[in-house]
């Protein structure tokens, strides 16, 4: 193949470049070119004959380097000779031959791309890294909770109780009543549960990773039947059974945990979780986790032959308390109306056996006093 463009040759001895035509022999894997010069045999002669010297370089002996839009070919050691090619068609032909013969790596191919391609690639990689950090890393952190011993859950729950005193005064008598109430239920718990009643007007309840379930008097006062309390406890127990607190904590701290894991700092993982234990009370579960807790809580209600409509009335009260509606895609919790509709669908899906439980009713009435 004869490249139609002119190339520039530097012989490594003179600073004066020479224009040459290069030829690529794909069968022999070599390039060749000629250098013309005057032959000085007799200094007295007025003119000197022009002679041509042919150079042949094996492709395997050439070092290739791309600089901007030019391709540089270097050959030899002492001196190092260089050919500069600027013709795009000639560069493409040489690169195509090198690629076909296995002499052009993917990295070298990438380097040959234009500036616009590299800018696009850089932006694409940054987008991938950003999306992975925002979405993929938290997901991996959540799934990796299965590798964390449950003893971590217990330690975090105990630390939270010690440091925060559960944000209110503990009601000893009502705490005992609530534990008696829970003991009369089949909760399908996977670990020991500890129920606490805290004196506060807040309409809330939450579960700690160690199995501690905190219920504020504010939400107890608003309840009208023990069915609602069973629904609430079933929901919170489902959070404990599925380790939702630990999963959300790991999701929120995934960046820090990733660095500690890469560095092999096992103690650092526990230290990071411990430093952020204060967030457990205000932890916002994902919509997926809330739906899962609703479904499992509903199953607990049904298994205990309690009226499942109690969950509906409970959420209706919470909806009134939190009356500011937000589109679901903007909220960390499912929209309460949607949760109510989901429970109503579960109620309508099959017949439920409901049996009045006088023991639970008596305990509930005592809790309301």
Q: For the residues 35-40, what does the mean pLDDT come to?
A: 67
Residue 12, CB-side half-sphere exposure with 13 Å CA sphere: 11
Which is it for strands 50-58 and 205-207: parallel, antiparallel or unpaired? unpaired
Higher pLDDT, 175 or 265: 175
The DSSP-derived string for 155-194 is HHHHHHHHHHGGGSEE-HHHHHHHHHHHHTS----SS--E
Averaged pLDDT score across all residues of the chain: 81
Any idea what DSSP says for residue 133?
I
Q: Are residues 343 and 261 in the same domain?
A: yes
Tell which phi-psi region holds residue 181, choosing left (phi > 0), alpha (psi between -120 and 50) or beta.
Answer: alpha
Q: Are residues 99 and 210 in the same domain?
A: no
Q: Are residues 201 and 347 in the same domain?
A: yes
- Alpha-carbon distance 91 to 73, whole Å? 11
Q: Are residues 187 and 319 in the same domain?
A: yes
Residue 19's domain comprises 7-39+50-111
Nearest to 59 by CA among 126, 18, 20, 104: 104
- Residue 346: other Cβ atoms inside 10 A: 19
3-state secondary structure of 340: helix
Q: Are residues 286 and 191 in the same domain?
A: yes
- Alpha-carbon distance 318 to 295, whole Å? 18
Residue 59 pLDDT exceeds 50: yes
Question: Would you say residue 132 lies in a domain?
Answer: no
Higher pLDDT, 70 or 276: 70
Spatial contact of 12 and 23, defined as CB atoms under 8 Å apart: no
User: Percent helix, strand, coil in the chain (nearest 5)?
Assistant: 55, 15, 30
Minimum mean pLDDT range among 31-40, 190-199, 261-270, 332-341? 261-270
Q: How confident is the model at residue 36 (pLDDT cuts 50, 70, 90)?
A: confident
Structure tokens, 47: 């003119």
Q: Are residues 148 and 105 in the same domain?
A: no
How many structural domains compose the chain?
2
Question: Would you say residue 95 lies in a domain?
Answer: yes
Predicted local distance difference test score (pLDDT) of residue 330: 42
4-13, 87-96, 168-177, 355-364, range with greatest mean pLDDT = 355-364
CATH number, residue 35? 2.30.29
Minimum mean pLDDT range among 94-103, 199-208, 325-334? 325-334
Minimum mean pLDDT range among 106-120, 336-350, 351-365? 106-120
Q: Are residues 30 and 169 in the same domain?
A: no
Q: Are residues 73 and 153 in the same domain?
A: no
The DSSP-derived string for 277-310 is GGGGTTPPPPHHHHHHHHHHHHHHHHHTT--THH
Rounded to 5°, angle at Cα 124 from 253 and 111: 125
Residue 276 pLDDT exceeds 80: no
Q: How confident is the model at residue 149 (pLDDT cuts 50, 70, 90)?
A: confident
Q: For the residues 231-256, what does the mean pLDDT come to?
A: 86
- Alpha-carbon distance 18 to 210, whole Å? 81
């Amino acid at each position: 193949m004869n490249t139609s463009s002119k190339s520039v040759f530097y012989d490594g001895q003179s600073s004066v470049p020479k224009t040459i035509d290069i030829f690529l022999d794909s069968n022999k894997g070599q390039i060749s070119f000629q250098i013309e010069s005057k032959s000085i045999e007799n200094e007295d002669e007025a003119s000197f004959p022009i002679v041509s010297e042919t150079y042949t370089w094996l492709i395997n002996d050439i070092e290739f380097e791309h600089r901007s839009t030019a391709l540089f070919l270097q050959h030899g050691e002492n001196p190092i000779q260089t050919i500069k090619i600027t013709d795009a068609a000639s560069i493409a032909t040489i690169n195509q031959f090198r690629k076909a013969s296995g002499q052009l790596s993917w990295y070298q191919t990438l380097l040959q791309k234009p500036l616009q391609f590299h800018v696009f690639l850089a932006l694409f990689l940054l987008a991938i890294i950003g999306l992975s950090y925002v979405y993929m890393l938290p997901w991996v952190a959540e799934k990796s909770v299965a590798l964390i011993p449950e003893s971590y859950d217990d330690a975090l729950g105990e630390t939270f109780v010690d440091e925060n005193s559960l944000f209110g005064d503990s009601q000893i008598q009502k705490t005992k009543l609530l534990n008696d109430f829970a003991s009369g239920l089949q909760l399908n718990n996977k670990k020991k549960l500890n129920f606490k009643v805290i004196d506060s007007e807040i309409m809330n309840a939450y579960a700690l990773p160690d199995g501690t379930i905190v219920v504020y008097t504010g939400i107890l006062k608003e309840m009208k039947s023990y069915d609602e309390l069973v629904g609430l406890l079933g929901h919170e127990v489902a959070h404990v059974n599925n380790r939702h607190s630990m999963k959300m904590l790991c999701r929120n701290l995934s960046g820090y945990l990733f660095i500690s894991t890469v560095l092999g700092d096992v103690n650092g993982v526990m230290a990071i979780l411990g430093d952020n234990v204060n967030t457990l009370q205000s932890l916002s579960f994902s919509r997926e986790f809330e739906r899962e807790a609703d479904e499992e809580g509903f199953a607990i209600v049904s298994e205990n032959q309690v009226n499942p409509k109690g969950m509906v009335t409970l959420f209706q009260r919470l909806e009134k308390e939190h009356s500011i509606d937000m589109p679901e895609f903007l909220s960390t919790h499912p929209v309460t109306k949607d949760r109510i509709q989901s429970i109503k669908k579960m109620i309508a899906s099959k017949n439920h056996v409901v049996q009045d439980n006088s023991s639970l009713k008596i305990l509930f009435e005592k809790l309301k006093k």
